[in-house]
A and B are shown apart, each in its own frame.
Chain A
Amino acid sequence: MPDRVEVRKTYKLYLGGEFVRSESGRSYQPAADVNIPRGSRKDLRDAVRVARGAFAGWAGKTAMNRGQVLYRAAEMLDGRRQQFIAELGGGRRAGREVDAAVEAFIWYAGWTDKLAQVAGTVNPVAGPYFNFTIPEPTGVVGVVAPDEPALAGLVLRIAPALAGGNTVVALASEKSPLPALTLGEVLATSDFPPGVVNVLTGFRKELLPWLASHMDVNAIDASGCSREELTAVEEAAAANVKRVVKPNGRRARLTPQAVTDLMEMKTVWHPIGV
């Protein structure tokens, strides 16, 4: 008999700011001792619905406010550093991965109120008009996380999407879903309004086609897709002219392009005159 019986955690989807089981009631076992919710098409549709509902509020927050929330996510993640290292299998490499994820939240937090100054322009048109171009969020973004690195790979993609003012429906790695679900707990305590970011687990083949073809998803970051998955995603994405961020063969890195890839440029004209 052990001295202390461990209180185990039930892993749940993070959806609409709540921790829920799959509506399907199903689970799967990527490792012997853990049951992971096997999200369904209905869960995915629910996630898109709440993400759409949260979009106007999140996009409408001041850039500074979004930066504060993302920075808080870095604080929460750093505070759970040991837990994540354990979930990632321990060791120096796991430590570096958690640090990279923390750094991503901090770095993109800083971009929220700087991006428009780097990516926007005032355009000297040949006429009496004031004309400027500013980045705006694309809308609801689907994020497909890579299997490896399971935590940093996900954070390096949701952080820029959120920094730009998008709301996110993320599909965790099917093979290593634990860090993504625990990340949900970090996100839940970081002042993200409910629905701004949602994390689903389950079988890629059951979820990805519906995410890619969903008519209310504006963009999909497919960096975590295999070659075959990418082709299918790109084909399905055409249904509503989704923007598709493709894997570029390199490990994700910190770049403002990761933010602008998920933003639209809006140009405004106004006459100048008395």
Chain B
Amino acid sequence: MALTKRRDTALAKQSFDYAPAPEAVDHVKIADRYGLFIGGKFVEPKSGKHFPTINPATEAVLSHVAEALAADVDRAVEAASRAQQSWGRLSPSSRARYILRISRILQERARELAVVETMDGGKPIKESRDVDIPLAAAHFFYYGGWADKLEWAFPNRSPRPIGVCGQVIPWNFPLLMLAWKIAPALAAGNTVVLKPAETTPLTALLFAEICQQAELPPGVVNIITGAGKTGSLLVQHPDVRKVAFTGSTEVGKLIQRSTAGSGKRLTLELGGKAANIVFDDAPLDQAVEGIVNGIYFNQGHVCCAGSRLLVQESVAGALLEKLRRRVDTLRLGDPLDKNTDIGAINSKAQLEKIEGLVESGREEGAEIYQPPCELPAKGFWFPPTIFTGVSQSHRIAREEIFGPVLSVLTFRTPAEAVEKANNTPYGLSAGVWTEKGSRILWMTQQLRAGVVWANTYNRFDPTSPFGGYKESGFGREGGLHGLIPYLELN
């Protein structure tokens, strides 16, 4: 299913094709059906309902997973509540050891998890193998280490667990987002009911098996599958004391509204429309790599994607020329192929959303560039796309597309760059490319965003706090700050 390129330039005619390099899948076992993971066991859903999960690159059904409805959510929250007392009172070093065990098992089963992540979600195997799974394991290792050091992290503040956490995660980094949620929650002594996204439930269910393998006490982690309705039941459950959500700003606002007056603690990690800003003195070749990584990493299904390129007018022509040449070399196709750069779009619904916004870009007068690129016949695909001549009022400059679509705007002065970069209700991330140190620090101060990557982009680490300003949400995940939302502190 590798991409066939048809290019007319002499250079392209000389270039070599890539031989297929598919990742083996024979070592992976996916069950035909999964129940809900409640109280340490897989149980049949009381709802009696299951729904299919498919491979977005082939549209083949991978498995059927249970749909948790009210009675199931009750049961899961009950299991977590029952486990809360003993888990919260377990010696901190024992808690640490369970979490560290989980981290180790994630490493041991890394290949299997990477393959399933790619099959269920459509992301290139090189990303799930090199980014998602190692970072997920690293998160558990990092927070496992905090579990018995909370008194040192928050001196004089008597850190205590909050209680049952209801966590709802998105489909773009399924296992990694699970790790971002579960690792700090457990380290702080809480128990968890987690709902993975309906299109990517499988690695969370494998994680449930890993909890069994680690002999984590029953009920400390519960995994319930389902769609928006399940998530809504979970976050509104009266015995859930802490809600953590990663997903769209639209749903985040609904959750904030629905938990009003409940006294629940809440963290939201929502959408973004990040500016990636390139100054005229930037190392352009490095910047091009950063721009590509910023917007085409994970098909652009990244809340912090650098979806608005702001380039200083004097280098716009040169930069765009380099960028188009680089985008021409991106390989789109079988996500399980180790050479693939751009995998499948996660779902039909997401593909339609991307197509709609791209259509609006055309209609509003922006100029579109897509490399010549054959899309596989089956599955959901969208070619890497660059819009130039974009103005700030265009929908493609304002709305989160969550796809491989870059909107290019230009600026003349640093002040104009700041003005344009901050001209959004979002504030999750930003990128700055310049060789001038003082300008980096000045830009860093001016940008109203929770993460600023200077001369790099889309870097993540368990020690590094991540989260948004403004409508990109509140609370931080990662680092010392990532513990705060999961603790009661004096």
Nearest chain B CB to A14 CB, angstrom units:
27
Contact with B along A207-233 (1 / 0, CB 8 A): 000000000001000000001001111
> Do B452 and A126 touch (CB < 8 A)?
no
Whether A267 contacts B463 in the complex (CB less than 8 A), given A241-B270, A257-B489, comes out as no
**In chain A between 225 and 274, which residues have their CB closer than 8 angstroms to a CB of chain B?**
227, 230-235, 237-241, 243, 246, 257, 264-271
Question: A79 → chain B, closest Cβ, in Å?
Answer: 34
| B48, CB-defined interface residue at 8 Å | no
Question: Please, how many angstroms separate the alpha-carbon atoms of A265 and B454 in the complex?
Answer: 17
- A127–B471 CB distance below 8 A: no
CA distance A266 to B452 in the complex (A): 8
A240 touches B425 (CB 8 A): yes
Chain A residues near B260 (CB-CB < 8 A): 231-235, 237-238
User: Does A62 interact with chain B (Cβ within 8 Å)?
Assistant: no
In the assembled complex, the Cα of A243 lies from the Cα of B270 at a distance in Å of 14
Quick one: which of A123, A238, A243, A265 has the most chain B CB within 10 A? Answer: A265
CB contacts (< 8 Å) of A1 on chain B: these are none
Q: Is B257 an interface position by the 8 A CB rule?
A: yes
For this complex, into which size category does the number of interface residues on chain B fall? 35 or more
Return the contact of A243 from the options B425, B449, B463, B474 (Cβ within 8 A). Answer: B474
Q: Knowing A231-B261, A264-B450, A269-B451 are in contact, say whether A125-B461 is a contact too (CB < 8 A).
A: yes
Of B440, B470, B473, B476, which one neighbours A265 at CB under 8 angstroms?
B476
Of the residues A231, A240, A265, A271, contact of B465 by C-beta under 8 Å: A265
Which residues of A in the span 187-215 have a Cβ within 8 Å of any Cβ on B?
none
What chain A residues lie within 8 Å of B253 (beta carbons)? 238-239, 241
Separation of A239 and B252 alpha carbons in the complex (Å): 10
Interface centre among B448, B449, B464, B469 (most CB of A within 10 A): B464
Kindly list chain A residues whose C-beta atoms are within 8 Å of the C-beta of B473: 241
Q: How far is the CA of A69 from the CA of B454 in the complex (A)?
A: 33
Chain A 119-139 per-residue mask, 1 if CB under 8 angstroms from chain B, else 0: 001011111010101000011
Distance of A241 Cα from B471 Cα, bound (Å): 5
Please state if B444 and A121 are interface contacts (CB–CB under 8 Å).
no
Q: How far is the CA of A232 from the CA of B481 in the complex (A)?
A: 29
Query: What is the 8 Å Cβ interface bit string for chain B, positions 437-460, against chain A (1 contact, 0 not)?
Result: 000100010001111111110010
Q: How far is the CB of A274 from chain B (nearest CB, A)?
A: 13
Residue B467 at the A interface, CB < 8 A? yes
B480 located at the interface, meaning its Cβ lies under 8 Å from any Cβ of chain A in the complex: yes
A86-111 interface code vs B (CB 8 A; 1 in, 0 out):
00000000000000000000000000
**Cβ distance B466 to chain A, nearest Cβ, rounded Å:** 7
Is residue B138 within 8 Å, beta carbon to beta carbon, of the partner chain? Answer: yes
- Hey, which chain B residues are within 8 Å of A123, CB to CB? 461, 463-465, 479
B444: contacting residue among A231, A232, A238, A268, CB under 8 A: A268
CB-CB < 8 A to A268: which residues of B?
444, 451-454
The reply to whether B471 and A121 contact each other, CB–CB distance below 8 Å, is: no
> Across the interface, do A230 and B261 meet the contact criterion of CB distance under 8 Å?
yes
With both chains docked as a complex, state the minimum distance between the C-beta of B403 and any C-beta of chain A, in angstroms.
23
* Interface pair A126/B489, CB less than 8 Å apart: no
CB < 8 Å neighbour of B249 from A133, A235, A237, A241: A241
Nearest A-chain residue to B429, judged by Cβ: A267
Chain A residue at minimum C-beta to C-beta distance from B474: A243
A267–B252 CB distance below 8 A: no
Would you list which residues of chain B between 161 and 179 have a CB under 8 Å from chain A?
none
Counting chain B CB atoms within 10 Å of each CB, which of A126, A232, A237 scores highest? A126
Given A126-B138, A269-B451, verify A241-B474 contact (CB < 8 Å): yes
Bound-state Cα–Cα, A237 to B464, Å: 28
Nearest CB of chain B from residue A63's CB, rounded to whole Å: 13
Using Cβ atoms and an 8 Å threshold, which residues of chain B touch A265? 450, 465, 467, 476, 481
Q: What is the bound-complex CA distance between A50 and B85, given in angstroms?
A: 50
CB distance from A121 to the nearest CB of B (A): 6
A240 to B254, CA, bound (A): 11
* Residues of the A chain whose Cβ atoms lie less than 8 Å from the Cβ of B465: 121, 123, 133, 265, 267
Complex Cα gap A151–B461 (Å): 45
Report yes or no: A270 in contact with B461, Cβ–Cβ below 8 A.
no
- Which residue of chain B has the shortest Cβ distance to A235 in the bound complex? B260
Scan B256-295; emit 1 where CB is below 8 A from any A CB, else 0: 1101110100001010000000000000000000000000
Give the Cβ gap from A176 to chain B, nearest Cβ, in Å. Answer: 26
Residue of A nearest to B471 (CB): A241
Measured CB to CB, the nearest residue on chain A to B490 is: A255
Taking A123-B479, A237-B260 as known contacts, 12 extra A-B pairs with beta carbons closer than 8 A to each other, sorted by chain A number, are A123-B465, A125-B461, A127-B461, A129-B459, A139-B448, A231-B261, A232-B260, A240-B425, A241-B253, A241-B474, A267-B466, A269-B452
Enumerate the 8 nearest inter-chain pairs by beta-carbon distance, A residue then B residue, closest first.
Answer: A231-B261, A234-B260, A238-B256, A125-B461, A238-B257, A235-B260, A123-B463, A241-B471
Mind listing 29 A-B residue pairs with CB under 8 Å?
A123-B465, A123-B479, A124-B463, A125-B459, A127-B461, A133-B479, A138-B469, A234-B260, A235-B260, A235-B261, A237-B256, A238-B253, A238-B260, A240-B470, A241-B252, A241-B253, A241-B471, A265-B450, A265-B481, A266-B444, A266-B449, A266-B452, A268-B444, A268-B454, A269-B453, A269-B454, A269-B456, A269-B459, A269-B464
